[in-house]
Amino acid sequence: MDFTLNEDQSEFKALLRQFVDKEIVPVAREWEQAGRYPTEIVRGMAEMGLFGITVPEEYGGLDLDPVSFALVFEEIARGWMGIAGILGSHSLACRLIAMHGTEDQKDRYLPGLATGERRTGIGLTEPDAGTDLQGIRTTARRDGDHYVVNGAKMWITNARYADPLPVLVKTDPTASPAHRGMSVLLIEADTPGFEVTKDIGKLGYKGTESCEIVLDDVRVDADQLVGGVEGRGMQQVLSALEWGRVNIAARSVGIAQRAYDEALAYSHERRAFGQVIADFQAIQLKIGELGTQVQAARLMAYYAADAVRGGRADGVTGMAKIFCSEVALQAAIDSMKVHGGYGYSTEFEVERLYRDSILMSIGEGTNDVLRTVVAKSLLKGETTVG
């Protein structure tokens, strides 16, 4: 058993770390507090080819292996989790198109998406449907050579830049079970009736926008149906979201790593009672626990990433997302405790890490729902322990 990165992965991680330390870390706190969109960082990621990490090489992408994919999100989230969100939704949508799109759809969109010339996201969540995707109400009625789409989407990352946006719809609202009547349409940004109505204010996860979208009699060419066959939308989305759980697990590791780094550095700087606080056993216990949990989460994330090489691995990716996200939140809290009162200040990184970490237990399926997914996988023998 080899728990180390190979040479290519190690070099790739070093390149990512250099980019994050130079381009993201110095500006993250200031730009986040100012509500400034990270245009220059996005441009830098495009120059590195990171918008093509899930695009096949034949379309100009990097087509990264899943562990290298995880490294991207770990390192970027270490600098600023919101930036990882810009890349995350884009990468999942690219993977969906690459896996399930028609040849025409791949040829038309993937080359531009790989370079970042085009950007995208994924339109799933609605005001009354989050984790329960079968409960969506957005419909697409066939009308000759078009679909007429009506509905609304919420919390859509990259909504103001997505072109096209894959949107989950019900092409047959009467189907039972509901997933048999669900499809994905690629909707271009300038389509009449497609409107991004507002940005949603958030506790954390800033740097990228999360928007509400209204679809009012949006006429979409029938050839924009992903895969060209109705009723396969749920399977298409779930296959992409499996990598999404790896994405969230890796982002969580990045947050936890930064929380540890900040706590460790501060423990050597802060003095109390005539000595640095790193000399106090209470602080040492916090640092020891932090380091242990971060490394355990990292191994779990990489294990889950490796597991998806062979296809669906719902149980393992669910375990990783649950564990890593909860480590991220606890790491942020413990780092805040090491910082004392300064941890509560917006002049230090820790409060942002805390705000960002909370989303990790919610995004890509809440942890409680994922526990049921893991349990079902274990009960069916699809995932084993030991």
Query: Tell me, which fold does domain 133-231 have in CATH?
Result: Butyryl-CoA Dehydrogenase, subunit A; domain 2 (2.40.110)
Residues of CATH 2.40.110.10 domain(s) within the chain? 133-231
| CATH architecture for residues 7-115 | Orthogonal Bundle (1.10)
Following DSSP, what letter does each residue of 262-297 receive, concatenated? HHHHHHHH-EETTEEGGGSHHHHHHHHHHHHHHHHH
Copy the structure tokens of residue 16.
């990512």
- Unique residue bearing structure tokens 């049921």: 372
CATH for the stretch 235-379: 1.20.140.10
Residues of CATH 1.20.140.10 domain(s) within the chain? 235-379
> What is the dihedral sign for C-alpha 73, 75, 78, 79?
negative
The SS3 of residue 374 is helix
The one-digit pLDDT tens for each residue of the chain (386 residues) are 678 899 999 999 999 999 999 999 999 999 999 999 999 999 999 999 999 999 999 999 999 999 999 999 999 999 999 999 999 999 999 999 999 999 999 999 999 999 999 999 999 999 998 888 999 999 999 999 999 999 999 999 999 999 999 999 999 999 999 999 999 999 999 999 999 999 999 999 999 999 999 999 999 999 999 999 999 999 999 988 889 999 999 999 999 999 999 999 999 999 999 999 999 999 999 999 999 999 999 999 999 999 998 778 999 999 999 999 999 999 999 999 999 999 999 999 999 999 999 999 998 889 999 999 999 999 999 999 98
Catalytic residue numbers, as ranges: 364
Cβ contact 153:197 at 8 Å: no
**C-alpha distances in angstroms, 240 versus 122, 201, 253, 364, 376?**
10, 27, 20, 11, 20
Rounded Cα distance between 256 and 319, Å, is 17
